[in-house]
Amino acid sequence: MAETVATMAAEQLAVERAYVAMLYDRLDELRAEKTAELAAVRRSESAGNHQNRAERDAFASHYEDRLAQLEAVDHRLVFGRLDTHEGDRRYVGRIGLATQDHQRLMVDWRAREAAAFYQATAQNHMGIRRRRHLILEGRDVAALEDDVLDPEMLDDEGVLHGEGALLAALNQKRTGRMSDIVATIQAEQDRIIRAPLPGVRVVQGGPGTGKTAVALHRAAYLLYEHRERLRKAGVLIVGPSSSFLWYIERVLPALGETGVVMSSLAELFPGVVAVPERDPQTAQLKSGLDMADVVARAVRDRQKVPAQAQVLRVDTHRVTLTPRIVKRARDRARATGKPHNEARNTFVKIVLRELTEQLGEHLNTTSGNVMDRSYLAEDIRQARDVRIALNLAWMPLSPQTLVDQLFSKRHYLESAAPHLDAAQIEALLRPAGSPFTVADVPLLDEAAELLGDLEQAGVRRRAESEREQRKATDNAERALQNMHQSLEDVGADGIVTASQLTDFNAATQHRMTAAEAATADRTWAYGHVVVDEAQELSPMQWRVLMRRCPMKSFTVVGDIAQAGSATAAHSWRDALEPFVGERFALDELTVNYRTPAAIAEAAVDVARAAGLDISAPRAVREGEPPVVSRVGPAEVVGSVLDQVRSELELVNGGLVAVIVPEDRVPEIGAALAEEMPGLVGAGVRRLDRQVVVLSAWDAKGLEFDSVVLLEPQALLDEVGGGVGNLYVAMTRPTQRLRIVAAAGLPDGLDRF
């Protein structure tokens, strides 16, 4: 009988191998087709009239996208098969595939026909008899695993048994990059992934419950299901740091989706890459919605009525700018409701008109001449005194200048923030020209809203682009000579002017994808926004994100218990209520796929001992409890080194993270790098090194095979007694946790 099962298994494996080989053949065929089509379009690209070129451009970019998608889905192209009660057989994979004559070969995992692969159970079989997992190695099928959803089939000797596809996926060594979970999405995750597009959906879940994975697969699902709408408007994914974005950036391309915009909180304002806000008090002060009023007052303070009348020279004449004139112009300009820089046009127009009037009357009485108003207006406009007075009263401002001056000039800050006391003002003040911090980003955004376009900058940009255009036309003139030959080659008539060529080059060089255009444009309205580690966001940061998606279509994932910043929310309701009231759906994920139970339980104990009221997710794996080494202060570095060495051996090619208090990252990083040259990375984008040294904040959202954690008490103290950072650090390992402590141990850890 055992032999029969083995024979059946071998037969089944052979069947699947043949099918999978055929799918890969089809994939290769499609790639070859698209490559040829793209080459043909490129060959003909430089010829024809403007419209033809635009069409060819569109084709080229379509073929490029499709080719990129076909290239990206090679790894585990197919992973499932559904056998229906009707005898239908359906393969499920990363994309949909069909034969040349449109016979379906494989269903896209996001299609409705594939949903049963994730959702069918023995109780609710959804018309499915058997679900088969295909576990691939390269392009070959390594193993099969069947879930029988029809009790009658349980006796069927042809049913295969193998290691669970899920456990196989979970036991893979970490690579420093997140991979997709498309082959093993669980039912509670799938329900969230396929939830409708509109509205705000919050996914709360403990560490390792797959929130990030779910958020990314949901983005891919929404792009598939609402392609037309979301392709144009785009999807924005916001994460806590650029190292986190680097960690997740390969997931969507592997799901066949490119062109999603990713941004950390530090990069949300185009043109500014903000540094961390080190002081929790300063961060706190900048985080509340009252800051929107502070920025609004700061802008209004820059619309000033002088205390006294000013005499201004216009050639040999004098005009007087009275407070009354300025006030009237200011009120009228404000009444337009336009942003500061745009309303300035109204202000300037009114003041110039009043002064022109004055000058006209003055000349009329002194010389009896009635002057042409347009000449007078020009004289007034050109006068240096007038220009200075106008700027003093209503200066055109960039958001960067406004925020820089707000925090570097005491009188601006005191006037704009009358509710703050002297110590708070002191905490906010800093030298002019200081780098912008993450907490400044929402203030810059607020300022940009209230200031509007800086016209001067617009003028400068236009002048620059005209200069560029002239240069490009000169180049094009020279290039034309060479072009004629290639135009003939593609059968074009060769009548192309230099400026057409310039246009064409500009169009191809700057053929921005929606994603690129969106990244550069602060006012871009996204179709959907995904926010990861959302528990960290301050009210002002939420305000920016709400502005980025006026339709308020959000997927928000996070864990309130992991909050590590001074400005984090205490509940989802607190975080979202100011923007959407009660109108958000809350889902919960309850299974921990990452951290072994023994480690997860220790982390929960520590969190509870620190007063955090949390429910622990159920862990899928057992594992060993953490091991704590108490050492003297002088032995700390040596002990960390020893632990890292032994962990490296134990995880055998996997990744070890050394999570240390923030101020010790450089010291420990350097000590390890010296002992283990070439193996150690520190900070952003070094997550694929075998050993990574980082702070708990930077470890947020990441995972490693083993973690060596230094001074848990210091991590606890890092956020003013909050346990979030320590809880995060303890829940990063997929296998092992080692703790080194010279200082005391937090409650809950002393039993190890």
**Residue 211 labelled as part of a binding site:** yes
d(CA 342, CA 444): 17
Cβ neighbours for 743, distance < 8 A, ≥ 6 positions apart: 711, 713, 714
In sequence order, what DSSP letters do the residues of 699-745 get, joined into one string? HTT--EEEEEEE-HHHHHHHTTT-SHHHHHHHT-EEEEEEEEESS--
Burial track 165-189 (b if 16+ CB lie within 10 A, e otherwise): bbebbbeeebebebbbbbbbbbebb
d(CA 258, CA 223): 10
Nearer to ligand ATP among residue 264 and residue 562 (C-beta): 562
Using rule CB under 6 A, residue 282 touches ligand ATP = no
Nearer to ligand ATP among residue 27 and residue 181 (C-beta): 181
Nearer to ligand ATP among residue 211 and residue 340 (C-beta): 211
d(CA 408, CA 300): 18
d(CA 63, CA 54): 14
Nearer to ligand ATP among residue 188 and residue 647 (C-beta): 188
Q: Which of 56, 330, 547, 594 binds ligand ATP (CB under 6 A)?
A: 594
- Residue showing the smallest CB distance to ligand ATP in the complex: 210
Q: How far is the CB of 468 from ligand ATP (least distance, A)?
A: 45
DSSP-assigned beta bridge partners for residue 83: 89, 130
Do 718 and 696 form a contact (C-beta atoms < 8 A)? yes
Using rule CB under 6 A, residue 490 touches ligand ATP = no
Q: How far is the CB of 186 from ligand ATP (least distance, A)?
A: 5
d(CA 546, CA 238): 12
Q: Which of 93, 205, 724, 746 binds ligand ATP (CB under 6 A)?
A: 205
Instruction: List, as own/partner pairs, every contact residues 47-53 make where C-beta atoms lie below 8 angstroms and the sequence separation is at least 24, other chains included.
Output: 47/487, 47/490, 47/491, 47/492, 47/493, 47/494, 47/496, 48/492, 50/500, 50/503, 50/504, 53/504, 53/507
**Residue window 15-54: x/- pattern of binding to ligand ATP, with contact defined by CB under 6 A:** ----------------------------------------
Q: For residue 41, give the 3-state DSSP assignment.
A: helix
Give me 456's structure tokens. Answer: 């001067």
Give me 255's structure tokens. Answer: 């799901």
Q: How far is the CB of 94 from ligand ATP (least distance, A)?
A: 15
Do 270 and 520 form a contact (C-beta atoms < 8 A)? yes
**Residue window 206-235: x/- pattern of binding to ligand ATP, with contact defined by CB under 6 A:** -xxxxxxx----------------------
**Residue 209 labelled as part of a binding site:** yes
Q: How far is the CB of 620 from ligand ATP (least distance, A)?
A: 9
Residues between 173 and 202 that touch ligand ATP (CB under 6 A): 181, 184-186, 189
Choose the binding region for ligand ATP from 75-83, 119-127, 164-172, 390-398 (rule: CB under 6 A).
Answer: 164-172
**Residue 206 labelled as part of a binding site:** yes
Choose the binding region for ligand ATP from 10-18, 166-174, 450-458, 506-514 (rule: CB under 6 A).
Answer: 166-174
Nearer to ligand ATP among residue 194 and residue 594 (C-beta): 594
Using rule CB under 6 A, residue 701 touches ligand ATP = yes
Q: How far is the CB of 283 from ligand ATP (least distance, A)?
A: 21
Q: How many residues bind ligand ATP (CB under 6 A)?
A: 23
Nearer to ligand ATP among residue 286 and residue 594 (C-beta): 594
Nearer to ligand ATP among residue 46 and residue 562 (C-beta): 562
**Residue 724 labelled as part of a binding site:** no
> Residue 123 has what DSSP assignment?
S
d(CA 219, CA 532): 12
How far from each other are the two terminal CA atoms of the chain, in whole angstroms? 49
Q: Which of 267, 277, 404, 559 binds ligand ATP (CB under 6 A)?
A: 559
Burial of 711 (0-12, 13-18, 19+ CB in 10 A): buried
Nearer to ligand ATP among residue 213 and residue 233 (C-beta): 213
Task: Find tokens 């190695």 and name the residue.
Answer: 137
Q: Which of 63, 504, 593, 704 binds ligand ATP (CB under 6 A)?
A: 593
Q: Which of 27, 134, 169, 237 binds ligand ATP (CB under 6 A)?
A: 169
Using rule CB under 6 A, residue 241 touches ligand ATP = no
d(CA 598, CA 233): 45
Nearer to ligand ATP among residue 186 and residue 538 (C-beta): 186
Do 540 and 288 form a contact (C-beta atoms < 8 A)? yes
Using rule CB under 6 A, residue 681 touches ligand ATP = no
CA dihedral 601, 606, 610, 611 (to 10 degrees): 10
Nearer to ligand ATP among residue 44 and residue 731 (C-beta): 731
Name the site residues for ligand ATP (rule: CB under 6 A): 166, 169-170, 181, 184-186, 189, 205, 207-213, 559, 562, 593-594, 701, 703, 731
Detail the residues annotated as belonging to a binding site for ATP: 205-212
Annotated binding site: 205-212
